[in-house]
Amino acid sequence: MRTLKMSDDVLCVRYSPDQNLIAVSLLDATVKVFYHDTLKFFLSLYGHKLPVLSMDISSDSTLLATSSADKNVKLWGLDFGDCHKSIFAHQESVMAVQFVWGTHYFFTVGKDRVVKYWDGDKLDGHHGEVWALAIAKHGSFVVSGSHDRSIRVWERTEEQKELEELYETTLSNQLEKTDLQDGEGTEVASAGKQTMETLKAGERIMEALDTGDEDKGAWEDYELRSPILAALGDVPADKYVLNTVEKIRANDLEEALLVLPFSKVISLIGYVDAWAKKDWNILLTCRILFSLLKTHHHQIVSNRMMRPMLDSIRFHLREQLKRHKDTMGYNLAALRYMRRDWENRNLAEFWDEDTQKEKEKDSAKRKFVTVTV
Protein backbone atom coordinates (compact mmCIF):
# COMPACT_ATOMS: atom_id res chain seq x y z
CA MET A 1 0.00 0.00 0.00
CA ARG A 2 1.25 3.48 -0.92
CA THR A 3 0.15 6.76 0.64
CA LEU A 4 0.08 10.16 -1.07
CA LYS A 5 -0.16 13.11 1.31
CA MET A 6 -2.08 16.12 0.00
CA SER A 7 -1.99 19.78 1.00
CA ASP A 8 -5.74 19.96 1.68
CA ASP A 9 -8.83 17.82 2.21
CA VAL A 10 -9.60 15.39 -0.63
CA LEU A 11 -13.13 15.51 -2.07
CA CYS A 12 -12.93 13.19 -5.08
CA VAL A 13 -10.48 10.81 -6.74
CA ARG A 14 -10.55 9.40 -10.31
CA TYR A 15 -8.37 6.76 -11.93
CA SER A 16 -7.71 7.00 -15.69
CA PRO A 17 -8.86 4.01 -17.80
CA ASP A 18 -5.35 3.53 -19.21
CA GLN A 19 -4.07 3.17 -15.61
CA ASN A 20 -1.48 5.94 -16.01
CA LEU A 21 -2.89 8.90 -14.09
CA ILE A 22 -4.69 9.67 -10.83
CA ALA A 23 -6.80 12.86 -10.50
CA VAL A 24 -7.44 14.24 -7.02
CA SER A 25 -9.91 17.03 -6.19
CA LEU A 26 -8.98 19.19 -3.20
CA LEU A 27 -10.91 21.53 -0.95
CA ASP A 28 -8.95 24.54 -2.28
CA ALA A 29 -10.87 24.25 -5.61
CA THR A 30 -7.91 22.75 -7.49
CA VAL A 31 -7.36 19.36 -9.10
CA LYS A 32 -3.99 17.66 -8.89
CA VAL A 33 -2.97 14.97 -11.38
CA PHE A 34 -0.27 12.43 -10.49
CA TYR A 35 1.43 9.55 -12.25
CA HIS A 36 0.11 6.21 -11.04
CA ASP A 37 3.38 4.26 -11.02
CA THR A 38 5.57 6.81 -9.19
CA LEU A 39 2.94 9.12 -7.63
CA LYS A 40 4.91 12.06 -8.98
CA PHE A 41 3.12 15.35 -9.65
CA PHE A 42 2.04 15.89 -13.27
CA LEU A 43 -0.57 18.67 -13.62
CA SER A 44 -2.32 21.28 -11.49
CA LEU A 45 -5.75 22.31 -12.81
CA TYR A 46 -7.13 25.53 -11.39
CA GLY A 47 -10.04 27.65 -12.57
CA HIS A 48 -13.02 26.72 -10.42
CA LYS A 49 -14.08 29.26 -7.82
CA LEU A 50 -15.51 26.60 -5.47
CA PRO A 51 -14.39 23.03 -4.72
CA VAL A 52 -14.83 20.33 -7.35
CA LEU A 53 -17.51 17.86 -6.22
CA SER A 54 -17.19 15.24 -8.96
CA MET A 55 -14.84 14.23 -11.76
CA ASP A 56 -14.63 11.68 -14.55
CA ILE A 57 -12.07 10.74 -17.20
CA SER A 58 -13.05 9.76 -20.75
CA SER A 59 -12.47 6.22 -21.94
CA ASP A 60 -9.53 7.29 -24.15
CA SER A 61 -7.91 9.06 -21.15
CA THR A 62 -7.62 12.36 -23.02
CA LEU A 63 -10.32 14.46 -21.31
CA LEU A 64 -11.08 15.17 -17.66
CA ALA A 65 -14.52 16.60 -16.77
CA THR A 66 -14.90 18.41 -13.45
CA SER A 67 -18.15 19.60 -11.87
CA SER A 68 -18.06 22.17 -9.09
CA ALA A 69 -20.20 23.92 -6.54
CA ASP A 70 -19.73 27.10 -8.60
CA LYS A 71 -22.34 25.69 -11.08
CA ASN A 72 -19.71 25.17 -13.80
CA VAL A 73 -18.39 22.14 -15.66
CA LYS A 74 -14.90 22.31 -17.13
CA LEU A 75 -13.21 20.01 -19.64
CA TRP A 76 -9.44 19.64 -19.33
CA GLY A 77 -6.92 18.07 -21.67
CA LEU A 78 -4.74 15.52 -19.90
CA ASP A 79 -1.82 16.08 -22.25
CA PHE A 80 -0.94 19.65 -21.27
CA GLY A 81 -3.57 20.46 -18.64
CA ASP A 82 -5.25 23.20 -20.69
CA CYS A 83 -8.93 24.01 -20.25
CA HIS A 84 -10.76 23.03 -23.45
CA LYS A 85 -14.20 24.27 -22.44
CA SER A 86 -15.95 25.90 -19.48
CA ILE A 87 -19.74 25.50 -19.27
CA PHE A 88 -22.24 27.18 -16.97
CA ALA A 89 -24.14 23.93 -16.61
CA HIS A 90 -26.77 24.28 -13.85
CA GLN A 91 -28.54 26.87 -11.74
CA GLU A 92 -27.25 25.18 -8.57
CA SER A 93 -24.21 23.12 -7.59
CA VAL A 94 -23.25 20.40 -10.08
CA MET A 95 -23.16 17.25 -7.98
CA ALA A 96 -21.96 14.60 -10.46
CA VAL A 97 -20.52 14.21 -13.94
CA GLN A 98 -19.82 11.05 -15.92
CA PHE A 99 -18.71 10.21 -19.47
CA VAL A 100 -20.46 7.76 -21.77
CA TRP A 101 -18.00 4.95 -22.46
CA GLY A 102 -16.35 5.09 -25.89
CA THR A 103 -17.43 8.69 -26.57
CA HIS A 104 -16.91 12.22 -25.33
CA TYR A 105 -20.57 12.61 -24.39
CA PHE A 106 -21.26 13.10 -20.69
CA PHE A 107 -24.13 13.58 -18.26
CA THR A 108 -24.38 16.05 -15.38
CA VAL A 109 -26.80 16.33 -12.48
CA GLY A 110 -27.31 19.24 -10.13
CA LYS A 111 -29.20 20.48 -7.15
CA ASP A 112 -31.59 22.25 -9.53
CA ARG A 113 -33.26 18.82 -10.13
CA VAL A 114 -32.09 18.68 -13.76
CA VAL A 115 -30.14 16.00 -15.65
CA LYS A 116 -28.29 17.30 -18.72
CA TYR A 117 -26.59 15.56 -21.62
CA TRP A 118 -23.52 17.21 -23.20
CA ASP A 119 -21.10 16.72 -26.08
CA GLY A 120 -17.52 17.22 -24.95
CA ASP A 121 -16.09 17.63 -28.45
CA LYS A 122 -15.83 20.76 -30.53
CA LEU A 123 -15.63 21.07 -34.29
CA ASP A 124 -12.16 22.38 -35.12
CA GLY A 125 -11.31 23.10 -38.70
CA HIS A 126 -11.32 26.81 -39.41
CA HIS A 127 -8.14 28.85 -39.04
CA GLY A 128 -9.91 32.17 -38.47
CA GLU A 129 -13.03 33.65 -36.95
CA VAL A 130 -16.28 31.90 -37.93
CA TRP A 131 -18.75 34.55 -39.09
CA ALA A 132 -21.61 32.68 -40.80
CA LEU A 133 -23.68 29.57 -40.12
CA ALA A 134 -26.44 27.69 -41.94
CA ILE A 135 -28.19 24.50 -40.84
CA ALA A 136 -30.05 22.04 -43.04
CA LYS A 137 -33.82 21.79 -42.63
CA HIS A 138 -33.66 18.49 -40.78
CA GLY A 139 -30.27 19.09 -39.18
CA SER A 140 -28.40 16.54 -41.29
CA PHE A 141 -25.51 18.90 -41.98
CA VAL A 142 -24.18 22.33 -41.03
CA VAL A 143 -22.36 24.85 -43.24
CA SER A 144 -19.99 27.41 -41.68
CA GLY A 145 -18.14 30.33 -43.25
CA SER A 146 -14.94 31.76 -41.80
CA HIS A 147 -12.68 34.78 -41.99
CA ASP A 148 -9.99 32.44 -43.37
CA ARG A 149 -11.94 32.40 -46.69
CA SER A 150 -13.14 28.83 -46.32
CA ILE A 151 -16.57 27.18 -46.21
CA ARG A 152 -16.86 23.89 -44.35
CA VAL A 153 -19.68 21.37 -44.38
CA TRP A 154 -20.24 19.37 -41.17
CA GLU A 155 -22.27 16.23 -41.85
CA ARG A 156 -24.18 14.24 -39.27
CA THR A 157 -23.61 10.47 -39.34
CA GLU A 158 -24.89 7.53 -37.36
CA GLU A 159 -21.47 6.13 -36.52
CA GLN A 160 -19.18 7.43 -33.80
CA LYS A 161 -16.02 9.10 -35.07
CA GLU A 162 -13.19 10.62 -33.08
CA LEU A 163 -12.12 14.09 -34.13
CA GLU A 164 -8.49 13.01 -34.11
CA GLU A 165 -9.25 10.28 -36.65
CA LEU A 166 -11.11 12.73 -38.90
CA TYR A 167 -8.24 15.19 -38.67
CA GLU A 168 -5.64 12.55 -39.52
CA THR A 169 -7.72 11.34 -42.48
CA THR A 170 -8.11 14.89 -43.82
CA LEU A 171 -4.42 15.59 -43.36
CA SER A 172 -3.43 12.37 -45.14
CA ASN A 173 -5.66 13.23 -48.10
CA GLN A 174 -4.15 16.70 -48.34
CA LEU A 175 -0.62 15.32 -48.27
CA GLU A 176 -1.43 12.83 -51.00
CA LYS A 177 -2.73 15.61 -53.26
CA THR A 178 0.32 17.79 -52.69
CA ASP A 179 3.10 17.28 -55.23
CA LEU A 180 6.15 17.94 -53.12
CA GLN A 181 9.52 16.72 -54.25
CA ASP A 182 11.78 14.98 -51.78
CA GLY A 183 13.90 17.38 -49.78
CA GLU A 184 11.89 20.50 -50.62
CA GLY A 185 9.51 20.45 -47.69
CA THR A 186 9.63 23.32 -45.23
CA GLU A 187 9.29 23.07 -41.51
CA VAL A 188 6.16 24.74 -40.11
CA ALA A 189 6.72 24.09 -36.42
CA SER A 190 9.54 24.35 -33.94
CA ALA A 191 11.47 21.22 -33.13
CA GLY A 192 10.50 21.23 -29.47
CA LYS A 193 8.85 18.94 -26.99
CA GLN A 194 6.75 19.67 -23.95
CA THR A 195 8.43 18.59 -20.72
CA MET A 196 7.58 18.91 -17.06
CA GLU A 197 9.87 21.96 -16.78
CA THR A 198 8.16 23.79 -19.67
CA LEU A 199 4.70 23.03 -18.27
CA LYS A 200 5.68 24.34 -14.84
CA ALA A 201 7.25 27.41 -16.49
CA GLY A 202 4.00 28.07 -18.35
CA GLU A 203 2.05 27.79 -15.09
CA ARG A 204 4.41 30.27 -13.42
CA ILE A 205 3.83 32.75 -16.25
CA MET A 206 0.05 32.37 -15.94
CA GLU A 207 0.20 32.84 -12.17
CA ALA A 208 2.36 35.96 -12.61
CA LEU A 209 -0.09 37.35 -15.19
CA ASP A 210 -3.03 36.71 -12.84
CA THR A 211 -1.22 38.46 -9.99
CA GLY A 212 -0.20 41.38 -12.21
CA ASP A 213 -3.70 41.84 -13.66
CA GLU A 214 -5.20 41.68 -10.17
CA ASP A 215 -2.75 44.32 -8.94
CA LYS A 216 -3.43 46.58 -11.93
CA GLY A 217 -7.17 46.35 -11.30
CA ALA A 218 -6.70 47.15 -7.62
CA TRP A 219 -4.47 50.11 -8.49
CA GLU A 220 -7.06 51.54 -10.85
CA ASP A 221 -9.84 51.10 -8.26
CA TYR A 222 -7.74 52.66 -5.46
CA GLU A 223 -7.77 49.44 -3.48
CA LEU A 224 -5.02 47.67 -1.57
CA ARG A 225 -2.33 46.21 -3.76
CA SER A 226 -1.62 42.52 -4.11
CA PRO A 227 0.03 41.20 -0.94
CA ILE A 228 2.48 39.19 -3.07
CA LEU A 229 3.86 42.29 -4.76
CA ALA A 230 3.87 44.19 -1.46
CA ALA A 231 5.92 41.41 0.15
CA LEU A 232 8.45 41.56 -2.72
CA GLY A 233 9.26 45.19 -2.03
CA ASP A 234 6.24 46.89 -3.58
CA VAL A 235 7.41 46.16 -7.15
CA PRO A 236 5.19 47.20 -10.07
CA ALA A 237 3.05 44.54 -11.71
CA ASP A 238 4.88 44.71 -15.06
CA LYS A 239 8.26 44.38 -13.30
CA TYR A 240 7.00 41.35 -11.36
CA VAL A 241 5.88 39.61 -14.57
CA LEU A 242 9.23 40.40 -16.25
CA ASN A 243 11.17 39.00 -13.29
CA THR A 244 9.12 35.80 -13.48
CA VAL A 245 9.79 35.38 -17.20
CA GLU A 246 13.51 36.11 -16.78
CA LYS A 247 13.84 33.21 -14.33
CA ILE A 248 12.72 30.72 -17.01
CA ARG A 249 15.51 29.02 -18.92
CA ALA A 250 15.98 30.28 -22.47
CA ASN A 251 15.57 26.76 -23.87
CA ASP A 252 12.18 26.33 -22.16
CA LEU A 253 10.72 29.78 -22.86
CA GLU A 254 9.11 29.13 -26.26
CA GLU A 255 7.59 25.83 -25.13
CA ALA A 256 6.30 27.50 -21.96
CA LEU A 257 4.58 30.20 -24.03
CA LEU A 258 2.72 27.50 -25.97
CA VAL A 259 0.93 26.50 -22.74
CA LEU A 260 -0.73 29.92 -22.40
CA PRO A 261 -4.36 30.24 -23.51
CA PHE A 262 -5.18 33.10 -25.85
CA SER A 263 -6.67 35.21 -23.04
CA LYS A 264 -3.31 35.10 -21.24
CA VAL A 265 -1.52 35.85 -24.52
CA ILE A 266 -3.46 39.12 -24.82
CA SER A 267 -2.53 40.00 -21.23
CA LEU A 268 1.15 39.17 -21.85
CA ILE A 269 1.24 41.34 -24.99
CA GLY A 270 0.05 44.23 -22.84
CA TYR A 271 3.03 43.71 -20.55
CA VAL A 272 5.32 43.51 -23.60
CA ASP A 273 4.11 46.98 -24.56
CA ALA A 274 4.98 48.26 -21.08
CA TRP A 275 8.44 46.68 -21.24
CA ALA A 276 9.09 48.27 -24.63
CA LYS A 277 8.08 51.72 -23.32
CA LYS A 278 10.43 51.43 -20.32
CA ASP A 279 13.31 49.78 -22.24
CA TRP A 280 13.37 46.70 -19.99
CA ASN A 281 15.32 43.73 -21.36
CA ILE A 282 14.64 44.49 -25.01
CA LEU A 283 16.22 41.22 -26.17
CA LEU A 284 13.82 39.12 -24.08
CA THR A 285 10.90 41.39 -24.99
CA CYS A 286 11.51 40.90 -28.71
CA ARG A 287 11.90 37.15 -28.32
CA ILE A 288 8.59 36.83 -26.45
CA LEU A 289 6.76 39.07 -28.93
CA PHE A 290 8.03 37.21 -32.01
CA SER A 291 7.17 33.83 -30.46
CA LEU A 292 3.61 34.94 -29.65
CA LEU A 293 3.10 36.43 -33.11
CA LYS A 294 4.36 33.29 -34.77
CA THR A 295 2.11 31.01 -32.72
CA HIS A 296 -1.09 33.11 -32.53
CA HIS A 297 -0.83 35.08 -35.77
CA HIS A 298 -4.35 34.41 -37.06
CA GLN A 299 -6.08 35.21 -33.78
CA ILE A 300 -4.04 38.37 -33.22
CA VAL A 301 -4.48 39.89 -36.69
CA SER A 302 -8.23 39.15 -36.67
CA ASN A 303 -8.74 40.85 -33.29
CA ARG A 304 -9.45 44.52 -33.95
CA MET A 305 -9.27 45.40 -30.25
CA MET A 306 -5.53 44.65 -30.27
CA ARG A 307 -4.77 47.11 -33.09
CA PRO A 308 -3.91 50.10 -30.82
CA MET A 309 -1.73 47.90 -28.59
CA LEU A 310 0.20 46.50 -31.56
CA ASP A 311 0.71 50.01 -32.99
CA SER A 312 2.07 51.15 -29.63
CA ILE A 313 4.45 48.17 -29.46
CA ARG A 314 5.67 48.83 -33.00
CA PHE A 315 6.38 52.51 -32.26
CA HIS A 316 8.14 52.05 -28.92
CA LEU A 317 10.01 48.89 -29.90
CA ARG A 318 11.30 50.48 -33.10
CA GLU A 319 12.60 53.49 -31.16
CA GLN A 320 14.32 51.30 -28.56
CA LEU A 321 15.86 49.01 -31.19
CA LYS A 322 17.14 52.00 -33.15
CA ARG A 323 18.71 53.44 -30.01
CA HIS A 324 20.33 50.09 -29.17
CA LYS A 325 21.62 49.82 -32.74
CA ASP A 326 23.21 53.27 -32.50
CA THR A 327 24.78 52.36 -29.15
CA MET A 328 26.20 49.13 -30.58
CA GLY A 329 27.58 50.98 -33.63
CA TYR A 330 29.22 53.60 -31.40
CA ASN A 331 30.76 50.92 -29.18
CA LEU A 332 31.96 48.94 -32.18
CA ALA A 333 33.66 52.03 -33.68
CA ALA A 334 35.29 52.75 -30.32
CA LEU A 335 36.62 49.20 -30.08
CA ARG A 336 38.05 49.39 -33.58
CA TYR A 337 39.78 52.70 -32.73
CA MET A 338 41.24 51.21 -29.55
CA ARG A 339 42.50 48.22 -31.53
CA ARG A 340 44.23 50.42 -34.12
CA ASP A 341 45.77 52.58 -31.38
CA TRP A 342 47.08 49.53 -29.54
CA GLU A 343 48.56 48.11 -32.74
CA ASN A 344 50.34 51.40 -33.49
CA ARG A 345 51.84 51.55 -30.00
CA ASN A 346 52.79 47.90 -29.53
CA LEU A 347 53.61 46.54 -32.99
CA ALA A 348 56.93 47.24 -34.76
CA GLU A 349 57.99 46.66 -38.33
CA PHE A 350 60.96 44.36 -39.00
CA TRP A 351 63.12 44.78 -42.07
CA ASP A 352 65.69 42.47 -43.58
CA GLU A 353 69.07 44.28 -43.57
CA ASP A 354 70.28 43.06 -46.96
CA THR A 355 66.97 43.79 -48.63
CA GLN A 356 66.92 47.27 -47.09
CA LYS A 357 70.42 48.03 -48.38
CA GLU A 358 69.49 46.95 -51.91
CA LYS A 359 66.45 49.22 -51.85
CA GLU A 360 68.56 52.14 -50.67
CA LYS A 361 71.17 51.45 -53.37
CA ASP A 362 68.59 51.37 -56.11
CA SER A 363 66.91 54.51 -54.86
CA ALA A 364 70.17 56.47 -54.61
CA LYS A 365 70.35 59.46 -56.94
CA ARG A 366 72.55 59.14 -59.99
CA LYS A 367 75.23 61.78 -60.51
CA PHE A 368 75.55 63.21 -64.00
CA VAL A 369 78.86 64.69 -65.31
CA THR A 370 78.81 67.36 -67.98
CA VAL A 371 81.66 67.12 -70.50
CA THR A 372 82.51 70.17 -72.63
CA VAL A 373 84.42 69.70 -75.83
Query: Higher pLDDT residue, 83 or 223?
Result: 83
pLDDT at 314 over 80: yes
Q: Does the reported pTM lie above 0.85?
A: no
Query: Higher pLDDT residue, 351 or 129?
Result: 129
pLDDT at 147 over 90: no
> Over pLDDT 70: what percentage of the chain?
75
CB 27 within 8 A of CB 11: yes
CB 274 within 8 A of CB 238: yes
Q: Among 56-70, 191-205, 221-235, which stretch is predicted with the lowest mean pLDDT?
A: 221-235
Q: Among 82-96, 222-236, 299-313, which stretch is predicted with the lowest mean pLDDT?
A: 222-236
- Of the candidates 31, 80, 89, 28, the one whose C-alpha atom is nearest the C-alpha of residue 56 is 31
pLDDT for the residue 182? 46
Mean pLDDT in residue range 345-364: 66
CA dist., res. 119 & res. 156, Å (int): 14
CA dist., res. 174 & res. 170, Å (int): 6
Q: How do the domains of the chain map onto residue ranges?
A: 10-119, 124-155, 196-320
pLDDT at 329 over 70: yes
pLDDT at 365 over 90: no
pLDDT 10s digits, 173-187:
666 665 444 445 444
Q: In sequence order, what DSSP letters do the residues of 219-280 get, joined into one string?
A: HHTT-PPPHHHHHTTS--HHHHHHHHHHTS-HHHHHHHHHTS-HHHHHHHHHHHHHHHHHT-
- Of the candidates 260, 249, 246, 242, the one whose C-alpha atom is nearest the C-alpha of residue 202 is 260
Q: Looking at domain 10-119, which of 3.40.50.300, 3.65.10.10, 1.10.357.10, 2.130.10.10 is its CATH number?
A: 2.130.10.10
- pLDDT confidence band for 76 (50 / 70 / 90): very high
User: Can you say whether the dihedral through the CA atoms of 195, 200, 204, 207 is positive or negative?
Assistant: positive
